[in-house]
């Protein structure tokens, strides 16, 4: 094995490995197993858990080389919330049983967190799970769930004890989605898509072996899973999937004949400055040896990306003017700008709303006092609702 302390040596090793093992015609299942066996699937994890013990920065280098070669299979140590949560919080048995198929890309997952009455106050959830022998029986409802129709597992938080304070009576499960007690209904969005769903549980069952953490400790497990989700959303801003005009704000202004407008140039500069500072903060977080500093910077990254998307959409709308009111394939520029403006709200809500992110930053980063909660120590069943 090459000396992986050297980035150049690591790049050489990856390229040689890909040259020997990857081709566009390769059998995907066999290649996925080879990637897993070689430790490239989750390079930053320990060798005992399918990784190579690389730094987060080097793990990204591995993924970049796979992407450049057009090869799938790397980067699960950042992008696979299911696998990352099990790796950090699961039992030895769960890691050996659930991780390999997830890392090979054989199992799909969705997030079963938010409820109609428990969004920003997620600890107020009312979906319940009751023990029945070796299983738990789940009843309730979740909302805003992506990929629910195709998922094999749902990362579920459910109330298992209503007689303790709301944060203490929650348990975390990996719930099998393909069963009669799970009903998925798509939600029609303002963008014309239906990426999100409502999910209803009627005596759905989840084995106790798929419980992550002890009963009642689900809130702590959730914080781990949310941390990975926010890092992912801060890393990769969701785009219009090819519908958005390529080239960025400068090219859009040039095409619209407005690049000479001093006001437009200033607006473009402001949006690009936000993106640049956020990129610097992300780079600093990736290279920092101080875990507290890295966590702080990553907490800022998610809300920064939300602002960047909104600002970019606003400037795009100002550049194209009235054309932004047009939609459909016959108006590609206006359609893309409108989509960007509407879709920016996804990042303001998904992974924790902007308002919740500001609370987190205020309390955990700046050290401000927590908001008063007169019911903090009250049993959940006694809370007003």
Residue 52 and residue 50: Cα distance in Å, rounded? 7
Question: What are 126's two structure tokens?
Answer: 């009312």
Task: Give CA 226 to chain center in angstroms.
Answer: 8
Q: Phi, psi at residue 144, to the nearest 5°?
A: 65, 40
Q: How many CA atoms lie within 13 A of 310 on its CB side?
A: 12
User: Phi and psi of 191, rounded to 5°?
Assistant: -80, -5
CA distance 370 to 363: 6
Q: Does 267 participate in catalysis according to the annotation? A: no
* Cβ contact 42:32 at 8 Å: no
**CB 78, CB 232: distance < 8 Å:** yes
Closest by Cα among 28, 7, 30 to 70: 28
Give CA torsion, residues 145, 146, 148, 152, to 10 deg. Answer: -120
With residue 256 as reference, give the H or E element that holds it: none
Tokens representing residue 114 in the block? 């938010």
Q: Any idea what the Cα angle at residue 342 is, between residues 335 and 254, rounded to 5°?
A: 50
Q: Which residues lie below 8 Å from residue 374, measured CB to CB, with a gap of 6+?
A: none
Closest to 116 (Cα-Cα) out of 216, 228, 199, 4? 199
Contact 330, 178 (CB under 8 A): no
Query: Which two structure tokens, joined as six digits, stand for 106?
Result: 């054989």
DSSP classification of residue 104: T
Q: Among residues 13, 115, 229, 311, which one is catalytic?
A: 229
- Catalytic annotation, residues: 229
């Amino acid at each position: 094995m090459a000396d992986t302390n050297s980035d150049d040596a690591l790049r050489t090793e990856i390229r040689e490995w890909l040259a020997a093992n990857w081709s566009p015609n390769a059998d995907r299942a066999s290649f996925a197993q080879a990637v897993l066996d070689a430790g490239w699937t989750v390079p930053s994890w320990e060798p005992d858990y399918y990784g190579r013990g690389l730094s987060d920065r080097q793990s990204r280098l591995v993924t970049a080389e796979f992407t450049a070669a057009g090869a799938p299979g790397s980067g699960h140590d950042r992008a696979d919330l299911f696998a990352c949560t099990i790796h950090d919080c699961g039992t030895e048995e769960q890691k050996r049983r659930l991780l390999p198929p997830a890392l090979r890309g054989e199992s799909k997952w969705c997030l079963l967190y938010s409820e109609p009455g428990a969004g920003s106050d997620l600890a107020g959830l009312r979906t319940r799970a009751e023990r029945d022998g070796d299983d738990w029986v789940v009843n309730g409802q979740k909302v805003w769930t992506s990929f629910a129709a195709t998922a094999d597992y749902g990362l579920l938080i459910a109330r298992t004890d209503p007689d303790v304070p709301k944060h203490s009576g929650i348990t975390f499960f990996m719930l099998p989605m393909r069963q009669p007690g799970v009903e998925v209904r798509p939600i029609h969005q303002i963008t014309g898509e239906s990426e999100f769903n409502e999910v209803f549980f009627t005596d759905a069952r989840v084995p106790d072996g798929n419980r992550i953490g002890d009963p009642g400790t689900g809130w702590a497990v959730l914080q781990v899973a949310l941390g990975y989700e926010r890092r992912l959303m801060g890393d990769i801003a969701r785009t219009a999937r090819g519908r958005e005009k390529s080239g960025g704000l400068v090219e859009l202004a040039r095409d619209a004949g407005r690049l000479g407008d001093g006001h437009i140039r200033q607006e473009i500069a402001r949006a690009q400055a936000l993106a640049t500072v956020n990129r610097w903060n992300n780079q600093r977080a990736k290279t920092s040896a101080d875990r507290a500093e890295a966590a702080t910077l990553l907490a800022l990254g998610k809300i920064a990306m939300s602002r960047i998307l909104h600002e970019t959409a606003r400037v795009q709308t100002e550049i194209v003017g009235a054309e932004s009111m047009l939609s459909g394939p016959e108006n590609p520029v206006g359609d893309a700008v409108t989509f960007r403006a509407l879709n920016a709200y996804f990042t303001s809500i998904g992974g924790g709303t902007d308002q919740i992110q500001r609370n987190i930053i205020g309390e955990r980063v700046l050290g401000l006092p927590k908001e008063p909660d007169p019911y903090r120590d009250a049993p959940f069943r006694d809370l007003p609702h």
